[in-house]
Amino acid sequence: MRQGDGAIIRIAQLGAGRMGSVHARNAAANPRLDLAWIVDPRADIAGALGHETGAQVATLAAVLADPEVRGIVVASSTDAHLDDTRACLAAGKAVFCEKPLDLSLERLEAAAADFTRADVPPLFVGFNRRFDPHYRLLKQRLDAGEIGALESLQIVNHDPETPPPAFIPGSGGLFKDFTIHDFDLVRWLVGEPVVQVFAWASCLIDPEIAALGDVDTAKLLLRTASGKLCVISNSRRSGYGYDQRIEAFGAGGALRVDNVTNSAVSAWRAGGAQADAFPYAFIQRYAGAYQAEMDHFADILAGAATPETGYAASRAALALAEASALSAREGRPVALDKE
Amino acid sequence: MRQGDGAIIRIAQLGAGRMGSVHARNAAANPRLDLAWIVDPRADIAGALGHETGAQVATLAAVLADPEVRGIVVASSTDAHLDDTRACLAAGKAVFCEKPLDLSLERLEAAAADFTRADVPPLFVGFNRRFDPHYRLLKQRLDAGEIGALESLQIVNHDPETPPPAFIPGSGGLFKDFTIHDFDLVRWLVGEPVVQVFAWASCLIDPEIAALGDVDTAKLLLRTASGKLCVISNSRRSGYGYDQRIEAFGAGGALRVDNVTNSAVSAWRAGGAQADAFPYAFIQRYAGAYQAEMDHFADILAGAATPETGYAASRAALALAEASALSAREGRPVALDKE
Amino acid sequence: MRQGDGAIIRIAQLGAGRMGSVHARNAAANPRLDLAWIVDPRADIAGALGHETGAQVATLAAVLADPEVRGIVVASSTDAHLDDTRACLAAGKAVFCEKPLDLSLERLEAAAADFTRADVPPLFVGFNRRFDPHYRLLKQRLDAGEIGALESLQIVNHDPETPPPAFIPGSGGLFKDFTIHDFDLVRWLVGEPVVQVFAWASCLIDPEIAALGDVDTAKLLLRTASGKLCVISNSRRSGYGYDQRIEAFGAGGALRVDNVTNSAVSAWRAGGAQADAFPYAFIQRYAGAYQAEMDHFADILAGAATPETGYAASRAALALAEASALSAREGRPVALDKE
Amino acid sequence: MRQGDGAIIRIAQLGAGRMGSVHARNAAANPRLDLAWIVDPRADIAGALGHETGAQVATLAAVLADPEVRGIVVASSTDAHLDDTRACLAAGKAVFCEKPLDLSLERLEAAAADFTRADVPPLFVGFNRRFDPHYRLLKQRLDAGEIGALESLQIVNHDPETPPPAFIPGSGGLFKDFTIHDFDLVRWLVGEPVVQVFAWASCLIDPEIAALGDVDTAKLLLRTASGKLCVISNSRRSGYGYDQRIEAFGAGGALRVDNVTNSAVSAWRAGGAQADAFPYAFIQRYAGAYQAEMDHFADILAGAATPETGYAASRAALALAEASALSAREGRPVALDKE
């Protein structure tokens, strides 16, 4: 445990659920941050997380009124993200909001002024892929011109297991809940606007998902302004862990991010070489990304960085999700408005 | 060299070009076949290939008139395939025709009766992927139910280098010349009709290809009758050798064919582990498949097998190619007629 | 940053050099420890490390006199380890001593009573391999009987680059400085005494090392009581990063730890697939192991664990190093005394 | 099947057992060779192999008397190799003798004159590793200086399963029967004499092997004239197929030959990625090497090559085997006579 040297910045967090626990632990372990308050109406989980991380339980009003609090992590329920974020920003607090900022493009755009006015504090929306060290290195090497001009991308994003049916109705559907990461990845890696999207989706895995009006399997094509072609493959259930891969094809070859494994241990038996398993799911696979997000928030609070992803990236990814849903529904490519 | 035991079957070959050389060498090395005649109007290459393989140069008429000739390998120029094949079949000879049987669906369908009448000799059209031992094992393991019901497929088919521009005009274009293999692969692996295709294609590599009205990069989606989703990625130039991969996703996991390498030798240096190169191109990568094709032809001639791929597979793959071209041209999904 | 909840244990550290920095940072980041004091006669580096970790610079006497200090990390220079450790233990402080406890088996055995008397505080000597998560998983899977009875082991331990010549004289030589890790690994993994060792060593890399009477390349065979055979390969310079691998062969197959890579990013170019580099050296490769060591020390201080490695493991590994040096010198196998 | 063009060379083969079948099939498939005669006292297997390969069954006397026979493949039982080879050479026939030429160094040296006199026809002894394309590429890249000066080698040679006990008594023991390949590999790759060997061997797998006075597990160290260090790991039973690997360490990095797999197909399931199995045993793993051996024999017969391995290589490998057996028996390093 490191003791203070004056540069430590006080923050608070809204939400003590699954993602809230991840962020609160990372905040507690971050030597530049002092997680002072946890806000969650569920007193039991708020208390437990506070005990674990050394934070006190408080109300949102109290947190907003604490002049020492300079930043707030918004990890409340998805449908509260937008209002919570606006309240925090309005109180002059920088915000690190767990994605998504909102599930409605219309609502998001209606609130645009609250994010884009001149003196609004910084808003960072946590798109975890951009903070994964493997993807970040891929991006660096692409930008360094290692394979020349990028021509096409292929992303595989398959979850290990279907979510419980109760998760589906509030999720926003596959494109807004799950593919949203891939939309942001594509935008980040290609560095130019996506102009058109085509999506086919099926419910091949879990009939309960179909009964709830959602899909569990999708293949999408995205085309950028200069004609680059991107493929996204989504599945709600891989059967083999969390499948997170990118292939970038360019004039001078390809750069790839393969799946990581839980360890470098392998077994050789009669059937052949068996590598260790892939990480179970996003909590394990992106543990380093969530730490890096918290570091990025500390940088923002310290004035050393501006948010890599905020309102604009949230809006653009959500627009792609809505366009994809429309494409899948109507069976035709859908053009994107100019960003 | 094995000497005869009476079961050796005399065959002839039309065409002594690049693929002709591959097939003639495999025929010469096949202990069940006696490649007696080579037909090619280019006397020099016909003579050289004859010398190498122990075959005599002859005319088509002479070959068709030789009652000992039971089978003919049609490796003439693509635009002669259809007429050559029909002539051979009409003369009562079994045919192994290098793909494609023809580049025009209309022409092919107009000739349908010549392939489907009751007493026509066997016609085998060489779709090499089906005879690759890796893909064949994938198919066996899929069919054995190893990953349960197949849900989606992703195929990568990238050529090492763009062809010379002179090749393009007679090629039929990317979909008929190149993607045709992937169409056949999809049909073979999914085991049910493809009902719809959507294709986006760009010319990102070689402007000369664009000037000739063709494309060099494409991403395609195919949907089958039961909703399975297939992705095909095509590029005329990878920059890293011949990229030939398949991923099959199912309820119980995934089965994959990775790229092979030229050897099991690798180098460890300051930059990390460097595997040996991927095969340069199809001649190297599918050498075993071409041998297996010739073996399949020997089986057909011996009455031990019926052709795995003939008129119907040729027609179906060509229909997919034409539908894909239409999709790419009009920017919409295109439905396939019932096969 | 986590604020206190009463269970935090105050510790101090001797030494602010390279390994001292690693341990002090891990102590500072450990939520159960409060690194209060840093002791190093070199005021500048002591001050810098103290500033970075929030610790104060102090003298050994002051630290030993602080009744709140319950544990001390001994990361002073190697030749001070033994005396520092004895002083700390004598003052009633638990010790986490960076390996080696000492370079002389004779001296170590002469001090045995100070480590083995009834009321001595716990002594943990940091053999990092045992705390690496990959090796630990290997050990667990071996112990779980996954490959049945272990028959042989092969360990590769190659450093990326030769140390500066100035390092050699005080290092104890290759076997005591470098192979010592492998000796401990073998003892840990095979779970039975090593009874005989045979070593061949050469100076093939750096003539300066030879001039100083040391070697830079060695291959060793170890035989255990039940006849298991172990191979150790050592090199002071790999040319490709830090090579750290284990293969365990048993009745039912093999379990292996391969090298890790810096990322899951790879490049495919004309020469083939190029993986990312191996970690440069032990600081990078065993970063997780050093954190786990500090956690183990926290467990020991909390009374939740007894040291995995202390005087006995240090003595046994050193005895193997001395026997190996004798074997290499005299060109014959050397038997080990009963442990 | 290729028909003759005058350059085809008539050969015969002694032995129609397991290795005899391999060689006879390769001879029959080789376009430059005409396998005319098979000699084996076991009429049934001789007849079957003759039928399969188109060769006639004959007696040794008849074969030696046939002036058209220019070369003979000696694949008779091991204890007949030496006499058969001498008889063939004495009759003026070139010989391709399956390894070993003999199991007794004394006997081999006593016959030296028959192999080294001025006008003896070429003798090629089939050490299969040298003809494996992977190992051959390793050798080429080493010789090209890719990793600078070679410093050490590590060879793994593990059989999939123990042989039947009945095989052991006539095998010559582990070192002469099995390690012999590794001795030749070391000599070939290091390109300088081995001057000393040290071997430890145990019987850890099959007590019946111990009862017959042999061992099933061994680790050997070899030292060359310039101080290069080589490790050989042997096991009669891997439990995971045939393990055939080489690592060569040099000043500029490492070159490695990994195990090949039966295919490029892998499965991803809950436990992780499962590659296809390793080849079962030498017949599968070295199929290409045996074909290349036959090609080398055709080259020798055509005057286009001199034998890569003959009497000298056989003697040197056998001397290493005897020295290793002595080392294992007496527990000390054993020096080799100057080659």
Would you state the pLDDT for residue B339?
A: 64
Cα separation, D200 vs D217, in Å, equals 8
Residue of C nearest to A51 (CA): C5
Lookup: tokens for C7:
């269970």
Asked if the Cβ–Cβ distance from A200 to B229 is below 8 Å, we say yes
Cα separation, B8 vs C7, in Å, equals 87
Yes or no: say if B265 and D139 are a contact pair by the CB < 8 Å rule: no
* Mean pLDDT for the stretch of residues A205-223: 97
Asked if the Cβ–Cβ distance from C146 to A267 is below 8 Å, we say yes
The gap between the terminal CA atoms of chain D, to the nearest Å, is 45
- Residues of D whose CB is below 8 A from A277: 270-272
- Residues of D whose CB is below 8 A from B266: 255-256, 258
Lookup: tokens for B191:
């085991």
* Mean pLDDT for the stretch of residues D58-65: 98
Q: What number of C-beta contacts closer than 8 Å exist between A and D? A: 59
Would you state the pLDDT for residue C2?
A: 45
Would you state the pLDDT for residue B121?
A: 98
Residue A3: pLDDT band (50, 70, 90) is very low
State the number of CA atoms in the 13 A half-sphere of D261 facing the CB.
23
Would you state the pLDDT for residue D338?
A: 72
Interface of C with A in 98-137 (CB under 8 A): 133-134, 137
Would you state the pLDDT for residue A5?
A: 47
CB-nearest to C274 from B261, B274, B278 is B274
Q: What number of C-beta contacts closer than 8 Å exist between B and C? A: 60
Q: Does C10 touch chain D (CB under 8 A)?
A: no
Q: Which residues pair with A201 in a beta bridge?
A: A218
Would you state the pLDDT for residue C4?
A: 43
Residue B74 burial (CB count, 10 A): 31
> Is the predicted pLDDT of residue D339 greater than 80, yes or no?
no
3-state secondary structure of C153: strand
Asked if the Cβ–Cβ distance from A255 to C267 is below 8 Å, we say yes
Percentage of chain A surpassing pLDDT 70?
98
3-state secondary structure of D304: coil
* Mean pLDDT for the stretch of residues D221-232: 96
Alpha-carbon Rg of chain A, whole angstroms? 21
- Residues of D whose CB is below 8 A from C156: 154
Amino acid at D49: L
Residue A291: partners with Cβ closer than 8 Å, 6 or more residues away: A26, A29, A30
CB-nearest to C3 from A54, A133, A268 is A54
CB-nearest to D1 from B34, B137, B268 is B34
Residue of B253, B159, B146 whose CA lies nearest to B209: B159
CB-nearest to B257 from D53, D255, D264 is D264
Over residues B17-53, the pLDDT tens digits come to 999 999 999 999 998 999 999 999 999 999 999 999 9
Check if C9-121 and C130-285+317-335 are the same fold.
no
Q: Does A162 touch chain B (CB under 8 A)?
A: no
Q: Which residues pair with B96 in a beta bridge?
A: B73, B124
CB-nearest to C276 from B272, B276, B278 is B272
- Residues of C whose CB is below 8 A from D249: 158, 235, 238
> Is the predicted pLDDT of residue B2 greater than 60, yes or no?
no
CB-nearest to B217 from A151, A235, A254 is A151
Which residue is it, tokens 């490492």? D254
Would you state the pLDDT for residue C155?
A: 98
Chains in contact with B via at least 3 Cβ–Cβ pairs below 8 Å: A, C, D
DSSP H or E stretch at residue C26 = helix C18-29
* Mean pLDDT for the stretch of residues B184-212: 96
Fold of C9-121: Rossmann fold (3.40.50)
Chains in contact with D via at least 3 Cβ–Cβ pairs below 8 Å: A, B, C
- Residues of D whose CB is below 8 A from B276: 137
DSSP string, C270-289: TTEEEEPPPPSSHHHHTHHH
Would you state the pLDDT for residue C3?
A: 44
Q: Does A277 touch chain C (CB under 8 A)?
A: no
Lookup: tokens for D143:
């010789």
3-state secondary structure of D203: coil
CB-nearest to C217 from D152, D156, D331 is D152
Over residues A296-317, the pLDDT tens digits come to 999 999 999 999 999 999 999 9
Q: What number of C-beta contacts closer than 8 Å exist between C and D? A: 102
- Residues of A whose CB is below 8 A from B186: none
Cα separation, C115 vs C95, in Å, equals 11
Chains in contact with A via at least 3 Cβ–Cβ pairs below 8 Å: B, C, D
Strand order in the sheet with D33-39: D56-57, D33-39, D9-14, D69-74, D94-98, D123-126
No. of helices (H) and no. of strands (E), chain D: 13, 15
Over residues A61-95, the pLDDT tens digits come to 999 999 999 999 999 999 999 999 999 999 999 99
Would you state the pLDDT for residue B5?
A: 47
Would you state the pLDDT for residue C123?
A: 98
Percentage helix, strand, coil for chain B under 3-state DSSP, each rounded to 5: 40, 25, 35
Interface of D with C in 232-261 (CB under 8 A): 233, 235, 237-240, 243, 249-254
Residue of C216, C223, C201, C182 whose CA lies nearest to C336: C223
Q: How far is C79 from chain D (nearest CA, A)?
A: 32
* Mean pLDDT for the stretch of residues B223-249: 97
What is the architecture, at CATH level 2, of domain B130-285+317-335? 2-Layer Sandwich (3.30)
Task: Parse chain B into domains and list their residue ranges.
Answer: 9-121, 130-285+317-335
Residue B7: pLDDT band (50, 70, 90) is confident
Q: Does B264 touch chain C (CB under 8 A)?
A: no
> Is the predicted pLDDT of residue A339 greater than 70, yes or no?
no
Over residues D14-36, the pLDDT tens digits come to 999 999 999 999 999 998 999 99
Q: How far is D175 from chain C (nearest CA, A)?
A: 16
Asked if the Cβ–Cβ distance from A1 to C4 is below 8 Å, we say yes
Asked if the Cβ–Cβ distance from B217 to A229 is below 8 Å, we say yes
CB-nearest to D240 from A243, A270, A278 is A270
Below-70 pLDDT ranges, chain C: 1-6, 339
* Mean pLDDT for the stretch of residues D143-159: 97
